[in-house]
Chains A and B, each alone.
Chain A
Amino acid sequence: MDYKYSFTLGARTWQFRSLADLLAKATTARSGDRLAGIMAQSAEERVVAQMRLAEMPLREFLCEALVPYEKDEVTRLILDSHDAEAFAPVAHLTVGDFRNWLLSDDATSATLELLRSGLTPEMVAAVSKLMRNQDLILVARKCRVTTAFRNTIGLPGHLSTRLQPNHPTDDITGIAASILDGLLYGNGDAVIGINPATDNVSQAIRLMTLLDDVIQKYNIPTQSCVLTHVTNTLEAIEQGAPTDLVFQSVGGTEATNSSFGFNLATLREAQDAALSLKRGTVGNNVMYFETGQGSALSANAHHGIDQQTCEARAYAVARHFDPLLVNTVVGFIGPEYLFDGKEIIRAGLEDHFCGKLLGLPMGCDICYTNHAEADQNDMDNLLTLLGVAGCTFIMGIPGSDDIMLNYQTTSFHDALYARRVLDLRPAPEFEDWLIQMQIFENANSYTPSRKLPDLFKGSLKRLTGGGAGQ
């Protein structure tokens, strides 16, 4: 066997086959890498791999592609779009020195912004493997990423929410009831986004129309999205549907993305189509991407790369299309990839850090399934940590219970908790609307009104035959 990297510790020399092997072994333990059979064999081997990785010059990541350039359009995208000039200030550093630099006061919001296009996902994933949770939080908090469509997302001291009014049969009244609940708790400034239960073009158009009607009637400074396949959205746009954002799940290898049924050209086409509608009022970020550690392994398309590095490569795909929002759906995939609360929390912080450092408007679906070793307390912990780290947005769902996708994510109440303990405001345009509509009776303490706001009284009365509008 040909070993590319070695590290001598006392009398023993440790060997690592390749860069992918070194990165995998240096990764904090998680079940997905164990399932793939690429995890460190011992706790000691993991730290030795981290020590070897710390010595590696950042420059070397530009020479060794994890998936061959000829075989993978994500690799080509990463290397072809690398900005050598932006990279220059850190080009002389090793991964270990890069960690020190990121934590130092030389790395300011301004220098980090200039550096972005010089960093590859692999460099960012590598340095994250040497970082403790507090390092991931501290550095992510310095990164500034602002995007806009009908409102401005990602300003310092702000946190946005995706209102997720899913319903198991896409029942229009059921969806509208969850939207109303969310709006009245001040939720939905990142996007009002539905995962359709029936995934086809006509259903997507029906739901887009519903969302557009609501946004227009109440003049809500937010945007809508139906999370259907990118090719469905393209067709919907062709049929004249009121499309704000284009959604797609993306992965970090070409093979993952083809298993999802798209390539980079498809995304470009969809982005152009959405831009041509000119529906944004304060900005033109029209893409909404979702990612999550484990997707490449699940698609059998990971090329022996650990799931966290695959995830960071997905961010290279995302950033190429100037997204409004990128959401790492961290605990949805199940315990065979992230086993328990500890693994989910670590992965959430890694993803947020890597995304932010690469310049993405990074949000997190702070979530778990009932077969994972996790509960609401783990989600409270991750929510608080990500709030401190400056996370761009989180999900919002009635009572944490997604009755369509059968998993638990953050609730409307959870967002208000994060706002209060960390003083995080909604997007400014949306906050003005909440005040104007008398949804918040005190915007400074993020307190919803005790009374039902006037504008919604009539709707509720019509539906319930009166009596409820008080």
Chain B
Amino acid sequence: MSEQNIPVTDNAWRVLRQFTDARIGLGRAGISLPTHELLRFQLAHAQARDAVHFPLDVKRLVGDLQESALALPAESPVLLRSQADDRQTYLQRPDLGRALSRESVRRLAGLQVSDQARTVVAIVIVDGLSSSAVQNNAVPMVRQFLQDLEQDCGGWRLAPLSIVEQGRVAVGDEIGQRLGASVVVVMIGERPGLSSPDSLGIYLTWGPESGLNDARRNCISNIRPAGLAFEQASQRLLYLMRGARRLKISGVSLKDRTEEVVIEKTANNRNFLTD
């Protein structure tokens, strides 16, 4: 085939992909996406869709937790559900995903922890919008966190760990409240991106109770092997927990200074297009 007849035109600037994950330099067939790029996109979308719609395999998650040789608190894990009965309802009614089912409320009765000397922490694992985030990343995250918590001479006491199906972030506040926890740590599957179907997010609330809004929570996002590492996420979480305990507050008034970016107004603004 002569050069004129090659159906796909490549882009010389594709080499810039070493500097960004953006889908640049895709080339073109006519003015359209070449077949292999089209299929790469379709695969990424399919994985993100599956992450949203495949139910969390709770049995496997429980097995993984037990096999991880972690010293889980007594009664763990407590298996719970929100008031959203299925995925379709869950997606359209965030209010139902924030509330525990009646059966789950009953299950929590009698599990309340009270400890005058130490700060009670409840860990809540929630499927959220990505089951694969939770399936792949929750156990290593919990393992890292429990190790770090043990080494922190902080006087923390763990409430039973719970797992919630069809849950939103705020469901953790009700659970924390019912368990008598001072801090609730929610590990939840984040809305999957095209290139990141398995991002885990962590939300922390001091003094959890039903009806709190987002401004009362701190968030650590994009936890996954290709994103924020478990070790760093765990350190940030402990940093926030110590701050929350000191100030007796979480959310916008508790700044995460570990991630504060200091930007020089003029420095380091050079780019290859104008150099």
Residues of A whose CB lies within 8 Å of any CB of B are 31, 34-35, 165, 167-168, 171-181, 184, 198, 200, 202-203, 205-206, 209-210, 213-214, 217-218, 334-336, 339, 369-371, 375-376, 397-401, 403, 406-408, 411, 413, 416-417, 420, 446-448, 450-452, 456, 459-460, 462-464, 467-470
Q: Which of B28, B263, B270 contacts A202 (CB 8 A)?
A: B263
Given known contacts A203-B263, A398-B22, A446-B31, A336 and B93 CB-to-CB distance under 8 angstroms: yes
Within the assembled complex, what's the spacing in Å between the Cα atoms of A200 and B268? 17
Given known contacts A174-B22, A202-B265, A450 and B9 CB-to-CB distance under 8 angstroms: yes
The proximity string for B residues 181-203 relative to A, scoring 1 for CB distances below 8 Å and 0 otherwise, is 00000000001111111000000
**Across the interface, which residues of B come within 8 angstroms of A172, CB to CB?**
268-271
6 pairs, A vs B, C-beta closer than 8 Å: A174-B19, A181-B24, A370-B49, A371-B129, A403-B193, A463-B16
A370 B45 Cβ-Cβ under 8 A: yes
Interface centre among B33, B48, B263, B272 (most CB of A within 10 A): B272
B31 A416 Cβ-Cβ under 8 A: yes
The proximity string for B residues 37-49 relative to A, scoring 1 for CB distances below 8 Å and 0 otherwise, is 1000110110011
A400 B41 Cβ-Cβ under 8 A: yes
Q: In whole Å, how far is B188's beta carbon from the nearest beta carbon of chain A?
A: 13
**Across the interface, which residues of B come within 8 angstroms of A369, CB to CB?**
191
Q: In whole Å, how far is A453's beta carbon from the nearest beta carbon of chain B?
A: 10
**Across the interface, which residues of B come within 8 angstroms of A339, CB to CB?**
91-92
**Across the interface, which residues of B come within 8 angstroms of A470, CB to CB?**
12
Q: In whole Å, how far is A306's beta carbon from the nearest beta carbon of chain B?
A: 16
Q: Which of B21, B92, B197, B269 contacts A403 (CB 8 A)?
A: B21
Given known contacts A399-B23, A406-B193, A413-B33, A336 and B13 CB-to-CB distance under 8 angstroms: no
**B11 at interface, CB cutoff 8 A:** yes
The proximity string for B residues 259-275 relative to A, scoring 1 for CB distances below 8 Å and 0 otherwise, is 00101110011111111
The proximity string for B residues 204-220 relative to A, scoring 1 for CB distances below 8 Å and 0 otherwise, is 00000000000000000
Additional A-B contacts beyond A213-B271, A336-B92, A401-B195 (15; CB < 8 A):
A171-B19, A172-B269, A177-B24, A178-B24, A179-B273, A181-B11, A214-B273, A339-B91, A339-B92, A406-B193, A413-B26, A416-B31, A460-B16, A463-B272, A464-B15
Q: Which of B15, B22, B194, B265 contacts A178 (CB 8 A)?
A: B22
Residues of B whose CB lies within 8 Å of any CB of A are 9, 11-13, 15-17, 19-26, 28, 31-33, 37, 41-42, 44-45, 48-49, 51-52, 91-95, 129, 191-197, 261, 263-265, 268-275
**Across the interface, which residues of B come within 8 angstroms of A467, CB to CB?**
15
Interface centre among A198, A217, A450 (most CB of B within 10 A): A450
B20 A173 Cβ-Cβ under 8 A: yes
B272 A460 Cβ-Cβ under 8 A: yes
**Across the interface, which residues of A come within 8 angstroms of B12, CB to CB?**
451-452, 460, 468-470
Within the assembled complex, what's the spacing in Å between the Cα atoms of A184 and B269? 22
B28 A462 Cβ-Cβ under 8 A: no
**Across the interface, which residues of A come within 8 angstroms of B192, CB to CB?**
370-371, 406
Given known contacts A176-B271, A181-B24, A447-B31, A408 and B91 CB-to-CB distance under 8 angstroms: no
Q: Which of B13, B22, B49, B95 contacts A399 (CB 8 A)?
A: B22
